[in-house]
Amino acid sequence: MKGKHMANWIDACGTDDIEEEDLIRFDHGDRTFAIYRSPDDEYFCTDGLCSHEKVHLADGLVMENVIECPKHNGQFDYRTGEAIRPPVCIDLNTYPVKVEGDRVFIEI
C-alpha cells in the first residue's frame, strides 16, 4: 500500500479497508505499521512487528482492545502499546491517528 505525505501525517488507508475489530499492515519506506479498527469504530496505530520476535502483527487476532501475536500468542493493548501477556515484555510504539472523511492518517 502506498502512502502519500501530508505534513507529517501519512495517508495510510481508507476507513473501510479495515474490518471492525481487525487490523491491517501498512508499510511506509522501510518501516511497517499495524493499523487497527476497534469494536467502537476507533482507529489506532502501532509498530507492525511484535516486540518479541519481529513477527507481523497483521496476521494476528484482535479481541476488543487487544492484539494477539500470531506466532507466540503474546498480547498487547493496541491503544497504548502495553505488553500484557508473555512472551512479550516490551511495549509497542504507538502513533497518533486521525480520520478525515473516509481516510485514515497516521503521524510518524
Partner 1 sequence: MPKRDYSLTGASTKRALEIGLATADWYHSDISRKEIKALMKRHNGPAIWHTMLYYGLMFAFVATAIALWPSLWSAPLWLAYGVLYASGADSRWHECGHGTAFKTQWMNNVVYQVACFCLLRNPTIWRWSHARHHTDTIIVGRDPEIITMRPPDIAKVIALFFGWDSIQSFFKVFRYAISGVNADEATFIPEQERFKVKVVAQIWLLIFAATLVTAVTIGSMLPFLVLFGPVIFGSWHYVLTGLLQHTGMADNVIDHRLNSRTVYMNPVSRFVYWNMNYHVEHHMFPMIPYHRLPELHARIKHDLPEPNRSIPEALAEVFHALRVQLGNPEYRIQKALPETARPYRYDLHAEALGLTAAH
Establish if 80 lies at the interface with partner 1 (CB under 8 A): no
Q: Angle CA(21)–CA(77)–CA(10) in degrees, nearest 5?
A: 70
Q: Which is nearer to partner 1, 47 or 68 (CB)?
A: 68
Establish if 1 lies at the interface with partner 1 (CB under 8 A): no
Establish if 68 lies at the interface with partner 1 (CB under 8 A): yes
Between the CA of residue 88 and those of 1, 12, 63, 76, what are the distances in Å? 28, 26, 17, 8
Among 86, 93, 98, 100, the residue binding partner 1 under the rule CB under 8 A is 86
Q: Angle CA(74)–CA(58)–CA(105) in degrees, nearest 5?
A: 120
Sheet arrangement for strand 66-68: 61-63, 66-68, 75-77, 82-85
Among 9, 15, 70, 99, the residue binding partner 1 under the rule CB under 8 A is 70
Note the Cα 83 to chain centre separation in Å: 14
Shortest distance (Å) from residue 63 CB to partner 1: 6
Among positions 2-31, residues that touch partner 1 (CB under 8 A) are 22
Contacting positions for partner 1 (CB under 8 A)? 22, 52-54, 59-61, 63, 68, 70-73, 75, 85-87, 89
